[in-house]
Structure 1
Amino acid sequence: MTSPGGRPAPPAPHPARRPVRRDVGIAVAGGIGIVAVNAAGLVITSGAGGVAAVDLAVVERVSRMHSPPLDAAALLIDRLLGPQLGAALVLLFAVAVWVTTRRAAEALTVLGVSVLPWAAAETVKVIVGRDRPDPRLLVDPLLVEAHSFSFPSGHTALATGLALAIVIVVRGRSGRRLVAVAVALGVVVVAASRVWIGVHYPTDTIASVVLGCSVVALALPLRRRVLDRFDRRCVDGGPS
Structure 2
Amino acid sequence: MDARTRTAPSLPAAAGVRETQRAQRALAPLRHPAVWIAAGAAAMALVLVAGVVLDGHPSWSAAEIAVDQWAGVGSSALVGVVALVFDITVSTAAGIVLLLIAALMVYLMADGTTAFVFLGGVCLAWLASLAVSLAVNRPLLELSAGHTVVAPDALDYPSTPTAFGTATVIGLLLAARGSNWRWLVALAGGIALAVSLWARLYLAAGYPTDVVAGVLVGAAVAAIYYPVMLDLVLPAVRRRIGSR
Give percent identity, aligned residues only.
27
Tell whether the 8 Å contact from 2:36 to 2:223 is kept in structure 1 after alignment: yes
**Pairing partner for 2:237 from 216, 230, 239:** 230
Residue 153 of structure 1 is matched in structure 2 by 159
Tell whether the 8 Å contact from 1:130 to 1:149 is kept in structure 2 after alignment: yes
Distance (Å, rounded) in 2 between the aligned partners of 1:188 and 1:136? 21
Tell whether the 8 Å contact from 2:88 to 2:149 is kept in structure 1 after alignment: no
Residues 116-195 of structure 1 aligned to structure 2 (within 5 Å) = 116-135=124-143, 145-195=151-201
**Pairing partner for 1:209 from 215, 224, 231:** 215
Tell whether the 8 Å contact from 1:117 to 1:158 is kept in structure 2 after alignment: yes
Tell whether the 8 Å contact from 1:152 to 1:208 is kept in structure 2 after alignment: yes
Going from structure 1 to structure 2, the CA distance change for 1:51 and 1:169 (only over 3 Å counts) comes to same
Distance (Å, rounded) in 2 between the aligned partners of 1:229 and 1:113? 19
Write out per-residue CA displacement over residues 148-181 of structure 1, whole angstroms, 9 at most, x where no aligned residue. 0121111111110110111011111235245324
Residues 1-240 of structure 1 aligned to structure 2 (within 5 Å) = 22-47=32-57, 50-99=59-108, 101=110, 103-135=111-143, 145-224=151-230, 225-237=232-244
Tell whether the 8 Å contact from 2:129 to 2:159 is kept in structure 1 after alignment: yes
TM-score by length of 1: 0.80
Using CA pairs under 8 Å that are at least 6 residues apart, name the structure with larger relative contact order, 1 or 2. 2
Tell whether the 8 Å contact from 2:144 to 2:204 is kept in structure 1 after alignment: no
Tell whether the 8 Å contact from 1:195 to 1:201 is kept in structure 2 after alignment: yes
Larger radius of gyration: 1
Going from structure 1 to structure 2, the CA distance change for 1:144 and 1:157 (only over 3 Å counts) comes to closer
CA root-mean-square deviation: 2.5
CA drift at 1:100: 5.1
CA drift at 1:215: 0.9
Task: In structure 1, list runs of 5 or more residues that go unmatched.
Answer: 1-18
CA drift at 1:24: 1.5
CA drift at 1:96: 4.1
Going from structure 1 to structure 2, the CA distance change for 1:95 and 1:185 (only over 3 Å counts) comes to closer
Aligned length: 215
CA drift at 1:131: 1.7
